[in-house]
């Protein structure tokens, strides 16, 4: 990717090196890496939100709230290490793309903040852990990323490359786009009124739409700023395939349970990401009116 020629985003919070305290003074750093992995596997098998499991580790005490939405703060100093600069450059490019798309539709895009952290950090959604992977928190409009995930993406999931990493960031930004469009709120309301199986199906549609929105960003980033190089598309598609629910379930439990999926199969994730990359149109990412995903 030709990301070094782009600008750096001012919407990055670097919390790396900070160890958050929660509840009655319990440090997240006290939990072993194996414990976090076990919690993640339990979440995958049961469909329980990993945040809820992690919050319960402190004897039921509530996690301290994260920064309030809209709270003013001075931008943190720019990080000088390359992984952080890469994440900042990709975030900036998503800002340029979605600002233009929203403006063309007569609305204003309000970009999310990107929080870089090590191990664990606070969010308005509860405790964020590296074991969960990158995530987006709608209440505080922040994308949370432990940069160590990119090493896992390459070594554990077999999806190396800078565009594979950019896809991960763009997918989480896609959730922010959903939040700003009101999709997230509508789906959350629906999920509280249906069965667990139907709620999982709605979650799959949300995730596949975020994949498609990541593809829309990639389309415009390349068409307007020549961001992609030969081989980049293959890197992104490989990453989408590596984190499909069926692939992860085979890895963790040896068999596939489609009704428990929350993100979609590898085939679905690849197809919707490709759809966005080939179209570049927001309207082509409507996963909720499609009969077949």
Tell me: pLDDT of 70 over 60: no
Which is more confidently placed, 291 or 235?
A: 235
How much is the mean pLDDT over the chain? 82
pLDDT of amino acid 210:
97
Confidence of residue 269 (pLDDT cuts 50, 70, 90): very high
Residue 139, pLDDT score: 94
* pLDDT score of 290: 63
% of the chain exceeding 70 in pLDDT: 78
Cβ atoms of residues 11 and 79 within 8 Å: no
Instruction: Kindly tell me the sign of the dihedral angle through the C-alpha atoms of 215, 280, 204, 290.
Output: negative
Could you give the CA distance from residue 122 to residue 256 in angstroms, rounded to a whole number?
A: 32
Please compute the mean of the pLDDT values over residues 59-86 and round it to a whole number: 51
pLDDT at 253: 87
The predicted model scores a pTM of: 0.79
Average confidence (pLDDT) over 269-291: 91
Predicted pLDDT at 42: 43
Candidates 284, 288, 242, 287; CA nearest to 265 is 242
Q: What is the pLDDT of residues 181-209, one digit of tens each?
A: 999 999 999 988 999 989 999 999 999 99
Cα separation, 182 vs 69, in Å, equals 16
- Residue 14 predicted with pLDDT over 60: yes
pLDDT band at 259 (very low <50, low <70, confident <90, very high): confident
**Cα radius of gyration rounded to whole Å, the chain:** 18
Instruction: Give the pLDDT confidence score for residue 245 in this predicted structure.
Output: 87
pLDDT tens digits along 169-184: 999 999 999 999 999 9
Residue 291 confidence (pLDDT): 59
- The reported pLDDT for the residue numbered 79 is 61
Express each pLDDT in 77-105 by its tens digit: 446 689 999 999 999 999 999 999 999 99
């Amino acid at each position: 990717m030709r990301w070094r020629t782009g600008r750096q985003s001012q919407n990055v919070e670097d919390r790396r090196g900070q160890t958050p305290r929660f509840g009655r003074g319990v440090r997240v750093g006290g939990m072993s890496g194996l414990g976090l992995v076990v919690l993640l596997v339990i979440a995958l098998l049961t469909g329980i939100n990993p945040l809820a499991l992690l919050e319960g580790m402190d004897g039921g005490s509530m996690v301290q709230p994260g920064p309030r939405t809209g709270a003013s703060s001075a931008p943190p100093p720019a990080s000088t290490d390359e992984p952080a600069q890469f994440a900042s450059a990709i975030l900036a490019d998503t800002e340029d793309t979605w600002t233009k798309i929203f403006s063309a539709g007569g609305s204003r895009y309000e970009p999310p903040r990107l929080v870089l952290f090590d191990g664990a950090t606070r969010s308005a959604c509860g405790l964020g852990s590296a074991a969960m992977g990158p995530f987006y928190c709608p209440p505080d409009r922040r994308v949370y990323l432990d940069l160590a995930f990119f090493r896992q993406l390459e070594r554990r999931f077999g999806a190396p490359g800078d565009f594979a990493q950019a896809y991960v960031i763009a997918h989480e930004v896609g959730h922010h786009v959903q939040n700003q469009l009101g999709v997230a709120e509508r789906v959350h309301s629906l999920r509280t009124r249906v069965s667990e199986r139907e709620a999982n199906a709605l979650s799959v549609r949300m995730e596949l739409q975020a994949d498609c929105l990541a593809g829309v960003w990639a389309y415009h980033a390349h068409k307007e700023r020549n961001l992609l190089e030969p081989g980049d598309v293959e890197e992104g598609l490989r990453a989408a395939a590596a984190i499909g629910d069926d692939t992860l379930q085979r890895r963790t439990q040896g068999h596939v349970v489609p009704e428990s999926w929350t993100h979609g199969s590898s085939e679905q994730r690849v197809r919707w990401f490709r759809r966005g990359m080939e179209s570049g149109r927001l309207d082509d990412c409507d996963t909720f009116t499609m009969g077949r995903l």
